[in-house]
Structure 1
């Protein structure tokens, strides 16, 4: 009898602690502007490599497969149905002599998002479909001054 009482007390205590942890986590407000968007919004979203919906992210991976191109230190001056504009740094791996041994270099860029469209995964969200980078100074050897990318759905 004593063993079943101890087992019941342990189970109830664990359940109470788990409930408290879940309640605290779900009650906490998102921090910063890079938190994924969790409900439909009038503002379009930027879908990242993990299919999270973001508004005004602070960083963004362009090369999802290998991470060899990433935008960081993003500061947005505009974000809305007519597009988004910001500035930041594009970190690009030179892959010399090969990508795993390459060196990352930073290049200042102006970022523009456009092409608002319903997202197939969550059609009640509008997402940006195009991203363009304008290099304001140096750029990787094989890149044009303006590079345009189609964003994933």
Structure 2
């Protein structure tokens, strides 16, 4: 039926529908035009550098296969290191400590092998590379025999 009253009502319906559409468009536009800074600062995702252990040459190492403990003469060296953990606070490995008995002297001495458990810890900022942290202590635990005169459990500060 096409009566004047029906036409008036259909016009009102179209006006309400148009107003609702305009409101939705305005809301969408307002949301889309909010500056990114209004939602909080964006945090860039930066890969974290692993903590390193510094070797005798002053070079950073991550999970080294071997590590010289006696930098002056090389008479004490960790070899065959198998790292089972390398984290932000500690790193742990098992390996062999090769120690020269220096009998009758270090040049004529014999290297002996001792199974050892190694823990690196106490990371600190590295002055030489400010964006890098380095482990500053090394703990050696000998589960079996021990190099003379070492205790079964010893911790050293890594000085370089």
Which category describes the TM-score, using the shorter chain as reference length? Answer: 0.7 to 0.9
User: Does 2:148 align with 1:149?
Assistant: no
User: Does 2:74 align with 1:67?
Assistant: yes
Unaligned runs of 5+ in 1: 1-39
1:77-92 superposed matches below 5 A: 77-92=84-99
Q: How many residues align?
A: 114
Cα root mean square deviation, aligned: 1.2
Q: Show the counterpart of 2:108.
A: 101
Distance 1:96 1:65 in 2: 18
1:5-44 superposed matches below 5 A: 41-44=48-51
Q: TM-score, normalised by structure 1?
A: 0.72
Q: Is the 8 A contact 1:58 1:74 kept in 2?
A: yes
| CA displacement at 1:43 relative to structure 2 | 1.4
Deviations 1:14-59 (A, max 9, x none): xxxxxxxxxxxxxxxxxxxxxxxxxx95310010000111100000
Q: Show the counterpart of 1:139.
A: 146
When Rg is computed on C-alpha atoms for both structures, the one with the higher figure is 2
Q: Is the 8 A contact 1:41 1:125 kept in 2?
A: no
Unaligned runs of 5+ in 2: 1-46
| CA displacement at 1:97 relative to structure 2 | 1.0
Q: TM-score, normalised by structure 2?
A: 0.69
Q: Is the 8 A contact 1:86 1:110 kept in 2?
A: yes
